[in-house]
Structure 1
């Protein structure tokens, strides 16, 4: 082979190799691309699987989280199941009272010095809620008292059935609805203490922590309640635990939701099987910083006792007035004639800051004042209220041999509602007691008191 032929053959082979190289490279690149694409597809499937798994887990967690709804309205912790069948709410109130007494000479001689003091009138904590919507429950304990605190006792422990619209059936330790003043919550009363007329009524078969069974119901304009009660909490092992009482209250309101509203009502209570066959009517002078009672019938041997009377009220915008009159009759044992007493009060109040009074038909009583501009840093002065009350209770029936005294009290009050949870109450009281016992002792005092109230 000549040199020329050799060169031509080499050139031909090189050219063939050069032309074949791109095709070979292209073939390898496509294979690599196909393999990479397969890997990406596999990775994408894994990512999709992970997202599905985590999405299911997140959804499950969200569903679990929604099983309980948690709230803190007005500072009150509450819990509700997702279906609304169960609720649980924690609430409490603290009423801290301080007072100063200025006694006349006759009062100091008869009673000694009244104690200028500071104490928790009420310190209540507990819970309420619903079970399967149709049942409600209340469980509260009170650590406050009149003139001194205490270790704590059941204030309310009751079960209620509310499955019938407008009707509430109750059993347990409750506060039966009796009198307008007593049906108003202690958080909402206008003065530091309720009037003596109402206190004497609730002392016969009603009051806080009374073992009872009964019902209360209302329509748009009518309210009615009836109860059978026995002794108070803790009286089960005493003669007081055997007492039997029937009591009730009815009321009618012309316009409970808005506008000028007139309220008319009637309360009554009948007590039989009295503890120890005796009854005693007495009360403190509408202030309980000192626990001394200034009118007192003493123990009266009695078979039965009853009390009854009307209540009236009117509210329009920031003005409100109310009054109650009650008569108390005691069927004394033996030759002693029946004893009869009476008590009444009138009061009026005005919200200077312009808020309207609110009336609740479900209890036929007034709710608290809610400030339009709560007091807080940067603005708001809360709500301001002035009030006055005249109260009289006559526990004298000389013909029946009872001389418990006649008590007249003038009270002037100034209330500041800082917000829905905090209120300050300043009261001035002028107290006069006449004909307490022979030789017809008369005495009296002035008092000034301040309550600091916190509720949630």
Structure 2
């Protein structure tokens, strides 16, 4: 209709102009002093176009345009119908470039050697994901980790299943720990705490289910069966059984309408067969130089403990009240050793952070984890008019205290206490600069105490 109307108005104006050019007023008769008009028809000038022929040509052109437009719409509808029968394909990626400086006391250097300064790509990831109706999938690789590439989330499954929610089969995180399950993109610090490193299970090959609780998603549950010894490619071999059962539940006793004030509580447990006949727990300080060799050493380490089974128990809590956030977890790890009897290792951390620019940490109810921070005024963005606009971005200060104790019975793996101080500058929702200082205090039963400090910065971008 808009095309036909515009053509009609244009043609009307053209015809009116042609008729006006063909008519002229007769001269005023001075003899009779009376006003008189003559009905005179002026023939078309030689070579002038016939307006009716022009109108006909324009109508034919209009019909051709409308026909072409209808053909295009039909082709688009056909393409959409065909695409609807195929899985969707979306892309995601992540880049993290780090720089580290280390300072050790003499005791630490004598025991662990020189920890060298360095730079690295902590993560360089590319992922493809999508769905097909209730089916969904994700294929993600990291070219900065040891496998180069290393398999990360490589799974397929179903969603929106009545009573079960989601089911996945493949290589993905076991449902254990708020810190572990929150994506590194949305972590407050450059590295997760040493508690996560020592005890929290990583990605393994398995099958799992997860769902929310209640219409307002006031909680979640998740459970899975995994192989305990999957490598960087999700592979695992061995004649001994290495099955793992891991589960997690979360609850939101308080969550306001704006989502900027809430309390999260959670508990997770895992019963694990070693498969290899031994288990080992170890931790660096809360600093890591990617997949570099040499890297930051494991300052505490149990060595290999003969055992067929062990367990993990984890308690988690997080409070967000506007720009202020408080988060903590405790992990207990009982081990029934073949030769050393019952052993118990533990770890904990407490983390506090504050947004100087007024933002808040974002919570994702669907999985009971934290999500992406949105700066109120990005550092740089395109203006509504020409040019760009500048803003402060989002600024966050944070501090974390953590401890892991690997001393139990005959096993004296050491105790480490880390103090981490962080400053984050969120330039926009996808670009961030981190600054971290870590003071690691190591206490070894045999070799005594030592310290190692690290200063680090990171530039990160993801999409």
TM-score, scaled to structure 1:
0.80
Any conservation in 2 of the 1:135–1:163 contact (CA below 8 Å)? no
Secondary structure in 2 matching 1:275: coil
- Decide which of 376, 398, 410 is 1:372's aligned counterpart: 376
Cα separation, 1, equivalents of 2:365 and 2:443: 39
User: Which stretches in structure 2 are left out of the alignment for 5+ residues?
Assistant: 1-49, 290-294, 381-387
Residue 406 (structure 2) pairs with residue 395 (structure 1): yes
Output aligned runs, 1:18-417, within 5 Å.
44=56, 52=63, 54-65=65-76, 86-131=87-132, 133-145=133-145, 151-164=148-161, 167-202=165-200, 206-208=201-203, 210-219=204-213, 220-230=217-227, 231-232=229-230, 233-234=232-233, 236=235, 238-239=237-238, 243-256=242-255, 257=257, 258=259, 260-272=261-273, 274-289=274-289, 290-333=295-338, 335-376=339-380, 377-397=388-408, 399=409, 401-417=410-426
Greater Rg over alpha carbons, structure: 1
Cα separation, 1, equivalents of 2:406 and 2:425: 35
Any conservation in 2 of the 1:235–1:241 contact (CA below 8 Å)? no
Cα separation, 2, equivalents of 1:396 and 1:154: 33
Q: C-alpha displacement at 1:87, in angstroms?
A: 2.5
Any conservation in 2 of the 1:128–1:138 contact (CA below 8 Å)? yes
Secondary structure in 2 matching 1:61: helix
Any conservation in 2 of the 1:169–1:215 contact (CA below 8 Å)? yes
Secondary structure in 1 matching 2:390: coil
Cα separation, 2, equivalents of 1:81 and 1:105: 68
Secondary structure in 1 matching 2:329: strand
Q: C-alpha displacement at 1:240, in angstroms?
A: 9.7
Cα separation, 2, equivalents of 1:240 and 1:136: 32
Cα separation, 2, equivalents of 1:214 and 1:197: 24
Q: C-alpha displacement at 1:309, in angstroms?
A: 2.4
1:6 aligns with: none
1:391-432: CA deviation from partner (whole Å, max 9, x where unpaired): 0000011x2x11111000000000000001110110111101
1:423 aligns with: 432
Any conservation in 2 of the 1:94–1:453 contact (CA below 8 Å)? yes
TM-score, scaled to structure 2:
0.79
1:414-453: CA deviation from partner (whole Å, max 9, x where unpaired): 00000011101101111011025xx243221111111111
Cα separation, 2, equivalents of 1:443 and 1:177: 35
Any conservation in 2 of the 1:66–1:82 contact (CA below 8 Å)? no
Q: Structure 2 vs 1, CA of residues 170 and 118 (structure 1 numbering), >3 Å: closer, same or farther?
A: same
Secondary structure in 2 matching 1:418: strand
Any conservation in 2 of the 1:128–1:136 contact (CA below 8 Å)? yes
Q: Structure 2 vs 1, CA of residues 105 and 359 (structure 1 numbering), >3 Å: closer, same or farther?
A: same
Cα separation, 2, equivalents of 1:240 and 1:140: 29
User: Which stretches in structure 1 are left out of the alignment for 5+ residues?
Assistant: 1-35, 70-79
Q: Aligned pairs, how many?
A: 395
Once the two structures are overlaid, the 10-residue window that deviates more, 56-65 or 149-158, is 56-65
Q: C-alpha displacement at 1:277, in angstroms?
A: 0.6
Computed over aligned residues only, the root mean square deviation of the Cα atoms, in angstroms, reads: 2.7
Q: Structure 2 vs 1, CA of residues 302 and 366 (structure 1 numbering), >3 Å: closer, same or farther?
A: same
Cα separation, 1, equivalents of 2:137 and 2:237: 27
